[in-house]
Amino acid sequence: MKAIEVENLSRAFNSLRAVDDISFSVEAGEIFGFLGHNGAGKTTTIRMLSGQLSPDSGRGRVAGCDIVTEQQRLKPLIGVVSEHQNLYERMSGRENLEFAARLYGQEPQRVDEVLEQVDLLDRAKDKVQNYSNGMKQRLVIARSILHRPQIVFLDEPTRGLDPVVGREIRRLITDMSSQGVTIFLTTHYMEEADLLCNRVAFLSEGRIVALDTPNNLKTTHGSNDVNVTLNNGERLSLALDGPEAGNELQQLLNKGQVRTLHSAEATLEEVFIQLAGRRLAE
Amino acid sequence: MNWNIVSAITRKDVVDAIRHRYLLTALVTPLFVALMFRVMLPNMNSREILTVVVHDPAVSGIVAELQKDPRIGVVEVASADATPKEVATRKAIGGLVVPPNFASEIAAGRQPELTVYLNNQKTVFEQAALRRLLDQIVRAFAKQPDPAQLVWVDIDKEAKDKIVGGTGLDQMLLPLLLILTFGMTGAFVVPLLIVEEKEKRTLDFLLSSPASLREIIAGKALTGVVYTLLIAGLLLGLNRQFIRNWPLTMLTVLIGLLFVVGVGLVIGSLLKNTMQVNTWASFVLIILLAPSFPSIGITQWFDMAMRVVPTYYLTEALKLSMAGIMASRLWLHLAVLMGCTVVVFFVAVWALHRRS
């Protein structure tokens, strides 16, 4: 079953085509990565798919709802984690979630459940302005899953967070996924996409330039070489493609001359640069 | 329209506003100004003698009561017609024409008419002081809470501009304070509630939730209504002795409230951040507030100019409705105000849709 189906979706802001004729689909329960440089159209796509922005053309269905004509039916079925930590800072963590619970018509005890899930129960009474960045991000994620959505859109959820907090957020994402929630994730961090996503789409200048599993992208667009360091310090790069592939490596291994052996397959970032012609951080 | 969502937004904003420094300041300012007037005016009274011209043919005893007060200097005149002329000649603060049957009417428990000529070339503080002192003296003289119908006449205005009122300060300070309350709502409270959601990006969260833009705006407007009614209610309640017709006063307050909430929605939809609100709101507040200072000796052209500001009609309607005068002028003022309210709401809807 498709959780998200998009056909020829476009959106322009004045003369700038932020999203340009994109088509893709996401299976239910999948973690789908949407990768692109700043201004590639990731956030615009999320805003259109979450019913916050109408497309200029094209069609989209999310959780079985048309993104233009069925926005009010769609909204309770999705959760959105914005790229900004858009919380009410003068309110406590609990008050933020209680407000969201009222908007979504959820029972109050659900607030404690999600606070516990993101490990914020003991700080629930503190004002959000006194939270660390990591705590705020966990609270935003708690708010996005409060109403048990089918699909969660996460826009750069680990941006600006330290590695430990980043790992905690990734754990929450995999927890959500293990509960059957479909995840639509945008990120700058290639390792994160590689680690979490079942499939990724590369977005450049508003267009999808590649869409596949991280492994397929790396093998299709990268080389199948291995880097070998010999006992005498010499370094070799050996191709594993072709009819004689592996023979030389086998001989070196048999002679006991190999000190270290590393895969030289392309990283997702290298594949992106190759396809989009620029780095993700640009 | 899902009213559960609207009430959730209002509830959140009502609580959050108390924690918001600017919003809290805007909300309590009218109460603070009211307190300031209360504290300041009696002190000002004691600084100098207020000359009052009096015509009291039946020697009702009110002159004696006036003379007891060390802050008032009394000049008696022989005729009612001479009273306003003498006020102008002597540059007195005001004049009092006591009808011959004043004492007997009071004794019979009725409310006789007492004409007070007010010199509107004097400062607002002197005028306020006279209003307050006369109020106290007439009450003390009659020994009853609602002794007389005071007819206030500005000496350099046509007789048709006279306003009948129960007592003194209500005709000037209370409408001013109410307009200040409305102005704070329209210029600060509602715009800040909207702008802060944009600035902090929480509007994105609201728009991705089941709340529609219409429900979000309704929640904000309702918060403005709740706080304004609370403050206006407090002001009216504390000055309840000045209100002669509560239903009429409340009707005027509600129409005025709708107008300023509409103004707030327009400003909130056009501006982007708190800084812009702080910059522009002061101008809006001054414009909204200006017509509520009609009797401080302003020039005719300025008075005419004020008629293009909708709060002019609100101020006039407040004066008349508080005095309990259901004159055709009152309905005309309310009709103009309603018209302005409809226009403002149309502009607000257009601006919000344009922004969304």
Mean pLDDT of B111-134: 78
Flag the least confident range among A76-85, B239-248, B272-281: B239-248
User: What pLDDT was estimated at residue B299?
Assistant: 62
State yes or no: pLDDT of B45 exceeds 70. Answer: no
Is B209 close to A104, i.e. CB distance below 8 A? yes
User: What pLDDT was estimated at residue B44?
Assistant: 43
In this complex, is the C-beta atom of B204 within 8 Å of any C-beta atom belonging to chain A?
yes
Looking at the fold, whether B317 and B190 belong to one and the same domain comes out as yes
State yes or no: pLDDT of A183 exceeds 90. Answer: yes
Domain ends where: B134, B168, B202? B168
Mean pLDDT of B4-12: 93
User: What pLDDT was estimated at residue A10?
Assistant: 94
% of chain A beyond a pLDDT of 90: 49
Q: Where are the domains of chain A?
A: 2-218, 223-264
A16-27 and A2-13 beta bridge pairing:
antiparallel
State yes or no: pLDDT of A211 exceeds 60. Answer: yes
Q: CA end-to-end span of chain B, whole Å?
A: 18
Measured between CA atoms, how close is A219 to chain B, in angstroms?
38
User: What pLDDT was estimated at residue B144?
Assistant: 66
* Mean residue pLDDT across chain B: 81
Looking at the fold, whether B19 and B131 belong to one and the same domain comes out as no
Reported residue count of chain A is 282
Compute the distance between CA of residue B37 and CA of residue B135 in angstroms, rounded to an integer: 16
Q: Assign 3-class secondary structure to B103-170.
A: HHHHHCCCCCEEEEEECCCCCHHHHHHHHHHHHHHHHHHHCCCCCCEEEEEECCCCHHHCEEECCCHH
B350 Cβ neighbours under 8 A, 6+ residues apart: none
In this complex, is the C-beta atom of B20 within 8 Å of any C-beta atom belonging to chain A?
yes
If residue B36 lies in a helix (H) or strand (E), which one and from where to where? Answer: helix B21-45
**Residue B204 is nearest to which of A78, A86, A104, comparing CB atoms?**
A86
Mean pLDDT of A17-35: 92
User: What pLDDT was estimated at residue A105?
Assistant: 92
**Residue B12 is nearest to which of A86, A99, A105, comparing CB atoms?**
A99
Looking at the fold, whether B93 and B33 belong to one and the same domain comes out as no
Please indicate whether residue B154 or residue A107 has the higher confidence score (pLDDT): A107
The residue of chain B with its CA nearest to that of A49 is: B208
Measured between beta carbons, which residues in chain B are less than 8 angstroms from residue A88?
A: 12, 16, 200, 202
User: What pLDDT was estimated at residue A173?
Assistant: 92
Please indicate whether residue A269 or residue B147 has the higher confidence score (pLDDT): A269
Amino acid B228 reads T
Comparing CA positions, the residue from B141, B148, B159, B137 lying closest to residue B80 is B159
Is A90 close to B202, i.e. CB distance below 8 A? no
State yes or no: pLDDT of A25 exceeds 80. Answer: yes
Query: Which residues face B151 on adjacent strands?
Result: B115, B164
Measured between beta carbons, which residues in chain A are less than 8 angstroms from residue B204?
A: 52, 80, 82, 84, 86
- Full residue range of the structural domain in which residue B258 is found: 3-38+172-355
Mean pLDDT of B210-214: 89
User: What pLDDT was estimated at residue A91?
Assistant: 94
**Residue B210 is nearest to which of A75, A87, A143, comparing CB atoms?**
A75
Looking at the fold, whether B239 and B264 belong to one and the same domain comes out as yes
Domain ends where: B168, B196, B231? B168
Domain ends where: B127, B145, B168? B168
Cβ proximity of B112 and B149 under 8 Å: yes
User: What pLDDT was estimated at residue B252?
Assistant: 92
Measured between beta carbons, which residues in chain B are less than 8 angstroms from residue A149?
A: none
State yes or no: pLDDT of A127 exceeds 50. Answer: yes
Mean pLDDT of B48-55: 83
Cβ proximity of A9 and A22 under 8 Å: yes
A69 burial (CB, 10 Å; 0-12 / 13-18 / 19+) is exposed
DSSP chain A: -EEEEEEEEEEEETTEEEEEEEEEEEETT-EEEEEE-TTSSHHHHHHHHTTSS--SEEEEEETTEETTT-HHHHGGGEEEE-SS----TTSBHHHHHHHHHHHHT--THHHHHHHHHTT-GGGTTSBGGGS-HHHHHHHHHHHHHTT--SEEEEESTTTT--HHHHHHHHHHHHHHHHTT-EEEEEES-HHHHHHH-SEEEEEETTEEEEEE-HHHHHHHHS--EEEEEETTS-EEEEE--STTTTHHHHHHHHHT-EEEEEE-PPPHHHHHHHHHSS-TT-
Measured between CA atoms, how close is B203 to chain A, in angstroms?
8
State yes or no: pLDDT of A218 exceeds 70. Answer: yes
Cβ proximity of A60 and A7 under 8 Å: yes
Is A51 close to B12, i.e. CB distance below 8 A? no
Is residue A11 very low, low, confident or very high in pLDDT (cuts 50, 70, 90)? very high
Order the strands of the B163-165 sheet from edge to edge.
B72-76, B50-55, B94-97, B113-118, B149-154, B163-165
Looking at the fold, whether B124 and B265 belong to one and the same domain comes out as no
How many Cα atoms are found within 13 Å in the side-chain-facing hemisphere of B262? Answer: 22
Q: Which residues of B193-213 are buried (b: 16+ CB within 10 A; e: fewer)?
A: bbbbbbbbebbbbbbbbbbbe
CATH number of residue B106's parent domain: 3.40.190
% of chain A beyond a pLDDT of 70: 97
In this complex, is the C-beta atom of B209 within 8 Å of any C-beta atom belonging to chain A?
yes
In this complex, is the C-beta atom of A82 within 8 Å of any C-beta atom belonging to chain B?
yes
Mean pLDDT of A43-65: 92
* Mean residue pLDDT across chain A: 88
SS3 of B97, please?
Answer: strand
Is B201 close to A143, i.e. CB distance below 8 A? no
If residue B72 lies in a helix (H) or strand (E), which one and from where to where? Answer: strand B72-76
A153 Cβ neighbours under 8 A, 6+ residues apart: A46, A49, A50, A78, A79, A80, A81, A184
Measured between beta carbons, which residues in chain A are less than 8 angstroms from residue B200?
A: 86, 88-89
User: What pLDDT was estimated at residue B89?
Assistant: 87
Comparing CA positions, the residue from B128, B119, B237 lying closest to residue B172 is B128
Is A52 close to B204, i.e. CB distance below 8 A? yes
State yes or no: pLDDT of A153 exceeds 90. Answer: yes
Compute the distance between CA of residue A13 and CA of residue A17 in angstroms, rounded to an integer: 6
A7 Cβ neighbours under 8 A, 6+ residues apart: A23, A58, A59, A60
State yes or no: pLDDT of B92 exceeds 90. Answer: no
State yes or no: pLDDT of A282 exceeds 70. Answer: no
Mean pLDDT of A148-173: 89
Residue B68 has which token pair? 């007891």
Query: Which residues face B154 on adjacent strands?
Result: B118
Mean pLDDT of B184-209: 89
Compute the distance between CA of residue B193 and CA of residue B278 in angstroms, rounded to an integer: 13
Is B201 close to A86, i.e. CB distance below 8 A? yes
Picking from A78, A95, A102, A103 by the largest number of B CB atoms within 10 A of its own CB, the best residue to mutate is A103
State yes or no: pLDDT of A234 exceeds 60. Answer: yes
Is residue B219 very low, low, confident or very high in pLDDT (cuts 50, 70, 90)? very high
Looking at the fold, whether B257 and B350 belong to one and the same domain comes out as yes
- For the domain bounded by A2-218, which CATH number is listed? 3.40.50.300
Looking at the fold, whether B86 and B119 belong to one and the same domain comes out as yes
Cβ proximity of B114 and B80 under 8 Å: no
State yes or no: pLDDT of B164 exceeds 90. Answer: no
The residue of chain B with its CA nearest to that of A141 is: B205
**Residue B209 is nearest to which of A88, A90, A100, comparing CB atoms?**
A100
Mean pLDDT of B273-280: 87
Looking at the fold, whether B207 and B350 belong to one and the same domain comes out as yes
Flag the least confident range among A66-70, A221-225, B18-22: A221-225
Is residue B223 very low, low, confident or very high in pLDDT (cuts 50, 70, 90)? very high
Mean pLDDT of B120-142: 75
The number of folded domains in chain B is: 2
Measured between CA atoms, how close is B14 to chain A, in angstroms?
12
Mean pLDDT of B159-164: 45
State yes or no: pLDDT of A124 exceeds 80. Answer: yes
SS3 of B32, please?
Answer: helix
User: What pLDDT was estimated at residue B174?
Assistant: 81
Compute the distance between CA of residue B282 and CA of residue B294 in angstroms, rounded to an integer: 20
**Predicted confidence (pLDDT) per residue in B254-263, tens digit:** 999 999 999 9
Residue B212 has which token pair? 């529609």
Measured between CA atoms, how close is B257 to chain A, in angstroms?
27
User: What pLDDT was estimated at residue B152?
Assistant: 79
Looking at the fold, whether B157 and B185 belong to one and the same domain comes out as no
If residue B37 lies in a helix (H) or strand (E), which one and from where to where? Answer: helix B21-45
In this complex, is the C-beta atom of B200 within 8 Å of any C-beta atom belonging to chain A?
yes
